[in-house]
Amino acid sequence: MRTQVGIVGCGPAGLFLAHRLHRAGIEAVILESRSRAEVEGTIRAGVLEHWLVEMMTEMGLGARMLREGHFHTGITLQWNRQRLHLDMEELTGGRKVTVYPQHEVLRDLIAARLADGGTIHFGVSGTAIHDVETDRPFLTWHDGEGLERRLDCDYVVGADGFHGPGRQAIPAARRTEYQKVYPFGWLGILAHAPLSWPELIYANQGEGFALLSTRSPEVQRMYIQCDPADGIARWPDARIWAELRARLETDDGWVLREGEIFQKGIIPLRSFVCEPMQHGRLFLAGDAAHIVPPTGAKGLNLAVADAVVLSRALAERYRDNSAARLDAYSDTCLRRVWKGERFSWAMTTMLHRNAQDSPFERRIHLAGLDLLRSSRAAATALAESYVGLPPED
């Protein structure tokens, strides 16, 4: 088999790339090790930046998101049992975010891709990337029946997540990896419960971080900071609600509305960047090249921004036979990636209780929050990063 662009990974980066290439008249094939049901059922974050919502709408991929997603024009921050409302729309000249879960985005994009006649091979194993230093790279894998398959391509994209083969296909001596592992994780739940507050609340109170988010008027998403080594068995429902209450309560009689928890899990927090994001005819996109801690929900948005930059570069390569944008791909992406890393790290640091921090640092984090109350410039900077800037052209 042969195609123009072979994409490893059917996540946000791979799917948006395939859609945008299709619109530019460029053929792509996606390989994915998980089943379609697994891809469409994995619970992740759910905040889409302003430009991404506009782009999905403009690409004809936003109909269900516009119907079922929730617009948020502000967020609430909380510490010392008090809340601060940040009016992001007002601070940013009209921009907002949309809460629409990542797996719903993937469902919409997979359905649209298949309806367009696109090819996605799910459930493949042993994917290997070959000869990216030549102008004839290719992919091999085993299909569901165990048969070896081969795809010859002009270009290969590793959009295959942190653990995929994409990044490993850049020789270790040719890449630098930057990493920070945080000494806390997030316990996330989904609960059948009514809304407790009209916008997302990011709190640092009591034992540390809590986030009140939502999925629908009947289903709420909440997270609390926990020990990353904890097994979920150490967190019976009653303990989760007690911690959420302690971290989200205020002095004005507000009550958290509880309900049946029907999904829970613990994730570790890390920051990671691989430089460069390209090698020969291989390009990395999304989690294969960079991970952010979830505070601020930048992961999906950064991944799609990579796909936008790469699709423009490939379009220029095929249309004008110019590789200038492709050659600059890594540098262009990394300028945006590092700002996303900085924002996610700053939000994480300010909003969590870190046992390794001194009382001095704890005071600094609270001063950072208080600055948002007293300085419009500080509030505007946070709001601008939160609603997100479009990828540079």
List the structure tokens of 311: 């699709």
Binding span for ligand DHB by CB under 6 A among 3-11, 45-53, 162-170, 282-290: 45-53
Q: Is 275 left (phi over 0), alpha (psi -120 to 50) or beta?
A: beta
Q: Which of 8, 13, 17, 47 binds ligand DHB (CB under 6 A)?
A: 47
List the structure tokens of 382: 């946070």
Q: Which of 44, 6, 3 is nearest to 303 (CA)?
A: 44
Q: Is 270 left (phi over 0), alpha (psi -120 to 50) or beta?
A: beta
Nearer to ligand DHB, 169 or 297 (CB): 297
Q: Residue 46, interface with ligand DHB (CB under 6 A)?
A: yes
Q: Residue 221, interface with ligand DHB (CB under 6 A)?
A: yes
Q: Residue 244, interface with ligand DHB (CB under 6 A)?
A: no
Q: Which of 205, 225, 295, 348 binds ligand DHB (CB under 6 A)?
A: 295
Determine the residue type at 95: R
Q: Which of 213, 271, 278, 348 binds ligand DHB (CB under 6 A)?
A: 213
Q: Residue 212, interface with ligand DHB (CB under 6 A)?
A: no
Whether the Cβ atoms of residue 132 and residue 281 lie closer than 8 Å to each other? yes
Q: Please state the length of the chain.
A: 393
Q: Which of 102, 334, 294 is nearest to 184 (CA)?
A: 294
Q: How far apart are CA 289 and CA 66, in angstroms?
A: 30
Q: How far apart are CA 18 and CA 31, in angstroms?
A: 11
Strand runs labelled E in 80-207: 82-86, 97-99, 119-121, 125-130, 138-142, 148-152, 155-158, 176-192, 201-205
Longest C-alpha distance within the chain, in Å? 66
Binding span for ligand DHB by CB under 6 A among 237-245, 250-258, 293-301, 360-368: 293-301
Binding span for ligand DHB by CB under 6 A among 117-125, 252-260, 268-276, 294-302: 294-302
From the CB of 132, what's the least distance to ligand DHB, in Å?
33
Q: How far apart are CA 251 and CA 77, in angstroms?
A: 15
Binding span for ligand DHB by CB under 6 A among 39-47, 108-116, 127-135, 148-156: 39-47
72 is catalytic: yes
Q: How far apart are CA 59 and CA 141, in angstroms?
A: 31
List the structure tokens of 188: 């996330």
Site for ligand DHB in 67-126 (CB under 6 A): 99
Nearer to ligand DHB, 137 or 185 (CB): 185
CB atoms within 10 A of CB 182: 20
Nearer to ligand DHB, 150 or 257 (CB): 257
298 is catalytic: yes
From the CB of 8, what's the least distance to ligand DHB, in Å?
25
386 is catalytic: yes
Name residue, tokens 């709001």.
Answer: 383
Which of 100, 182, 329, 386 is an active site residue? 386
Which of 19, 50, 279, 298 is an active site residue? 298
Q: Residue 296, interface with ligand DHB (CB under 6 A)?
A: yes
Which of 155, 202, 223, 329 is an active site residue? 202
Note the residues at the interface with ligand DHB (CB under 6 A). Answer: 45-47, 99, 200, 211, 213, 221, 294-297
Q: Supply the residues annotated as catalytic.
A: 72, 202, 294, 298, 386
